[in-house]
């Protein structure tokens, strides 16, 4: 997903320096900053709206280029091209920042905010979102930001090598440098807040450590003892029924069928292969899913596709009128994960959906799966089982993987830990929460690309997304949706329509807290998530 920003102009109005409004520090003038209107000028609402359109058009083109480079670059670029790609991205982002942070843009947004009664609801949302995007950047000199962009391009390469070679030491200095740079940028953005809070709020507007501490306390309080009980019980469903060799080409054909089952329009989809699955969208007419297939594990492919498909449904379900504006795309990382996990888990790992999913899979793998029963399939894909890899985690233990990362990130930001301490912390927490002994850093602290990508503060949204999804599902059922029969029919249209109406269509026009409030008639609560997990896994493991 992408934070917009960029490049535009306000016809024929010359710039006047030193006439700033609002609290922000003077932005550093950088090469690339376009001309901006006189911040002291009296606004003409019609001209201001034209300027808003101009701003959005240019942000659109830059966003389109930047998302494309981000999506395709790392998976297809030749190895020697990394530095050039990083340089191009850094310059594009500098231009974005210079435009959004210019005094003229600030004054324009201030005037538009004060002309609120003349604006449509959509325009009001645009102004609100642009204002926030600007406030996040305005105190950060463009060179600081682009220095981080370049550091990350380099770190990404170092991390790839370090992971392949189980070599935490080579990555260590990069992680330390990334934390230093992220703390510095957070302090420039808002010196009054804790730096980690600034980054938590970046990925999930409205959240901070207090919010997540509460959330994780509730999750930990329920899941750690539940999983301990499961371990004590000692029994596991039979997984061998879904094991075997699965031809890769057929798996890709299956992937297309899964997109159809989920309800994705093939005319707006590009499916490609990659090491680390992801999805993104340039507009509602262009979503990308990058997935992988393993010949010895068809189930991994199936749930990756359902997961990434949920992201793509969200992105392509936004109001198309938002395409060329900053309201484009999902509102937050947590709400995005709420949609992807919805289709992966609440739909894809539900007992009622198992016959439909198995049916589609068996169409491609009759020999391996033709005799598996839906109940065997359901149990085999719902084993709660501690193991070291986050992306292979089951639904129950998944939030514990996130908890480990959340606690370590807090320690890195507070200074309680340095990068050198991470592997030991990692081992201890995996042992305590998941009962797992991590054998090496490749299967431990080096497994994820997030830190080398500068995404500290992002992991918690994965767990939060699970909780968003549970609350939305609960609400559908409260409103009378016959969950089992919808899933049992294999036609997910009622679910898609509900989510499109309450969540997807709004794009960034509502924050996640507002979306939950409006969709469910009450604020966010972790209750539905822990209740769901407790009920489902107690049932599977016969605990109560």
User: Does 256 count as an annotated binding residue?
Assistant: no
d(CA 358, CA 341): 19
d(CA 228, CA 45): 62
Residue 360 binds to a copy of itself (criterion: CB under 8 A): no
Contacts of 149 (CB under 8 A, 6+ apart): 86, 89, 90, 93
If you compute the radius of gyration of the chain from its CA atoms, what whole number of angstroms results?
24
Q: Restricting to residues 399-428, name those near a copy of itself by CB under 8 A.
A: none
Q: Does 475 bind a copy of itself (CB under 8 A)?
A: no
User: Closest CB to a copy of itself among 36 and 476?
Assistant: 36
For position 36 contacting a copy of itself by CB under 8 A, the verdict is: yes
Q: Which of residues 88-117 bind a copy of itself (CB under 8 A)?
A: 88-89, 91-92, 95, 98
| 12 φ/ψ sector (left φ>0, alpha ψ -120 to 50, else beta) | left
Q: Which of 181, 268, 372, 425 is the binder for a copy of itself (CB under 8 A)?
A: 268
Report the 10 Å Cβ neighbour count for 424.
Answer: 11
> How many CA atoms are closer than 13 Å to the CA of 285, on its beta-carbon side?
6
283 — phi, psi (to 5°)? -150, -175
CB of 523 to a copy of itself, least distance (A): 36
Q: Can you give 228-264 as a three-state secondary structure string? A: HHHHHHCCCCCCHHHCCCCCHHHHHHHHHHHHHHHCC
Residue 311 assigned to a binding site:
yes
CA atoms within 13 A on the CB side of 321: 9
What distances in angstroms separate CA 234 from CA 223, 268, 543, one per listed residue?
17, 46, 12
262 carries an active-site annotation? no
Out of 1, 4, 27, 33, which residue is the one contacting a copy of itself (CB under 8 A)?
Answer: 33
CB under 8 A: which stretch of 2-10, 220-228, 373-381, 488-496 binds a copy of itself? Answer: 2-10
Instruction: Decide: is 12 part of the binding site for a copy of itself (CB under 8 A).
Output: yes
Q: Nearest distance from residue 170's CB to a copy of itself, in Å? A: 20
Contact 463, 403 (CB under 8 A): yes
Instruction: Write down the catalytic residue from 308, 315, 385, 409.
Output: 308
CB of 247 to a copy of itself, least distance (A): 14
Select 323 or 376, whichever has its Cβ closest to a copy of itself: 323
SS3 assignment, position 294:
strand
- Between CA 165 and CA 441 the distance in angstroms is 9
Phi/psi zone of residue 480: left (φ > 0), alpha (ψ -120 to 50 degrees), beta? left
Query: For residue 453, what is the enclosing H or E element?
Result: none
CB 30 to a copy of itself: min, Å: 7
Please indicate if the annotation marks 24 as binding a ligand. Answer: no
Minimum CB distance to a copy of itself smaller for 50 or for 424: 50
**Smallest distance, a copy of itself to C-beta of residue 261, A:** 18
Interface pick for a copy of itself out of 2, 35, 157, 505 (rule CB under 8 A): 35
Measured from the Cβ of residue 381, the count of other Cβ atoms closer than 10 Å reads 21
C-alpha angle with apex 142: 138 to 143, nearest 5 degrees? Answer: 145
2 binds a copy of itself (CB under 8 A): no
DSSP annotation string for 394-417: -TTTHHHHHHHHHHHHHHHHHTS-
By the rule CB under 8 A, 160 interacts with a copy of itself: no
Q: Name the one range near a copy of itself by CB under 8 A: 1-9, 236-244, 393-401, 517-525.
A: 1-9
Q: Is 293 in the site for a copy of itself (CB under 8 A)?
A: no
Binding mask 310-349 for a copy of itself (x = CB under 8 A): -------------xx-------------------------
Determine, following the binding rule CB under 8 A, whether residue 477 of this chain makes contact with a copy of itself: no
Q: Is 493 in the site for a copy of itself (CB under 8 A)?
A: no
Q: How far apart are CA 270 and CA 431, in angstroms?
A: 40
Should residue 83 be labelled a site residue for a copy of itself when binding is judged by CB under 8 A? yes
525 neighbors 471 (Cβ within 8 angstroms): yes
Distance CA 278, CA 418 (A): 29
User: What is the smallest separation between the CB atom of 148 and a copy of itself, expressed in angstroms?
Assistant: 17
| CB 306, CB 343: distance < 8 Å | yes
Can you tell me which of 3, 20, 85, 177 binds a copy of itself, judged by CB under 8 A? 85
Closest contact distance (angstroms) between CB of 8 and a copy of itself is 6
Shortest reach from residue 463's CB to a copy of itself, in Å: 32
Q: For residues 38-77, which are near a copy of itself according to CB under 8 A? A: 51, 54, 57-58, 60-61, 64-66, 68-69, 72, 76-77
Residues 182 and 469: beta-carbon distance below 8 Å: no
Q: Are 263 and 310 in contact (CB under 8 A)?
A: no
Residue selected from 3, 47, 70, 87 as contacting a copy of itself according to rule CB under 8 A? 87
Footprint on this chain of a copy of itself (rule: CB under 8 A) = 7-12, 14-17, 29-36, 51, 54, 57-58, 60-61, 64-66, 68-69, 72, 76-81, 83-85, 87-89, 91-92, 95, 98, 265-270, 272, 282-283, 285-287, 323-324
**Binding site for Zn(2+), residues?**
307, 311, 337
Please give the positions annotated as active site.
308
């Amino acid at each position: 997903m992408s934070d917009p920003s960029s490049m535009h102009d306000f016809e024929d109005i010359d710039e006047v320096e030193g006439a700033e409004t609002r609290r922000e520090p003077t932005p550093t003038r950088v090469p690339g900053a376009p001309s901006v209107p006189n911040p002291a000028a009296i606004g003409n609402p019609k001209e201001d709206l034209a300027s808003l359109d101009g701003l959005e058009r240019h942000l659109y083109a830059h966003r389109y280029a930047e998302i494309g480079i981000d999506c395709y670059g790392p998976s297809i670029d030749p190895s020697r091209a990394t530095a050039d790609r990083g340089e191009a991205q850094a310059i594009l982002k500098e231009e974005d920042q210079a435009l959004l942070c210019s005094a003229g843009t600030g004054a324009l947004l201030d005037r538009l905010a004060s002309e609120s009664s003349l604006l449509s609801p959509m325009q009001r949302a645009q102004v609100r979102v642009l204002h926030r995007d600007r406030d996040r950047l305005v105190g950060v000199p463009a060179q600081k930001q682009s220095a981080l962009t370049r550091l990350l391009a380099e770190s990404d390469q170092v991390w790839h090598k370090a992971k392949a070679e189980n070599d935490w030491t080579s990555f260590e200095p990069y992680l330390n440098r990334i934390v230093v740079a992220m703390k510095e940028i957070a302090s420039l953005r808002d010196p009054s807040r804790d730096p980690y809070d600034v980054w938590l709020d970046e990925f999930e507007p409205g959240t901070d450590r207090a919010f997540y501490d509460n959330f994780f306390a509730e999750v930990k309080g329920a899941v750690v003892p539940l999983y301990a009980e499961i371990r004590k019980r000692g029994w596991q469903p039979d997984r061998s029924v879904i094991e075997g060799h699965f031809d890769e080409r057929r798996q890709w054909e299956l992937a297309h069928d899964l997109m159809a089952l989920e309800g994705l329009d093939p005319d707006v989809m590009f499916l490609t292969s990659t090491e680390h699955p992801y999805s993104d969208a340039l507009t509602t007419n262009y979503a990308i899913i990058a997935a992988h297939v393993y010949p010895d594990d068809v189930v991994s492919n199936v749930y990756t596709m359902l997961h990434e498909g949920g992201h793509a449904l969200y992105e392509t379900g936004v109001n198309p009128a938002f395409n060329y504006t900053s309201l484009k795309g999902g509102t937050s990382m947590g709400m995005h994960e709420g949609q992807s996990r919805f289709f992966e888990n609440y739909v894809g790992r539900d007992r009622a959906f198992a016959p439909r999913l198995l049916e589609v899979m068996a169409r491609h793998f009759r020999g391996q799966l033709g005799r598996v029963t839906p109940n065997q399939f359901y149990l085999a894909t719902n084993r709660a089982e501690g193991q070291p890899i986050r992306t292979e985690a089951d639904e129950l233990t998944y939030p514990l993987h996130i908890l480990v990362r959340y606690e370590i990130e807090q320690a890195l930001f507070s200074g309680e830990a340095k990068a050198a301490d991470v592997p030991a912390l990692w081992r201890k927490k995996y042992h305590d929460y998941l009962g797992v002994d991590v054998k090496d850093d490749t299967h431990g602290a080096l497994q994820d690309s997030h830190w080398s990508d500068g995404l500290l503060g992002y992991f918690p949204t994965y767990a939060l997304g699970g909780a968003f999804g549970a609350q939305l599902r609960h609400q559908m059922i409260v409103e009378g949706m016959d969950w089992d029969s919808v899933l049992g029919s294999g036609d997910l249209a009622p679910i898609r329509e509900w989510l499109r109406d309450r969540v997807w269509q709004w794009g960034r026009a509502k924050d996640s807290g507002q979306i939950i409030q409006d969709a469910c008639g009450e604020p966010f609560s972790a209750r539905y998530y822990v209740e769901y997990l407790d009920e489902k896994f107690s049932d599977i493991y016969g605990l109560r």
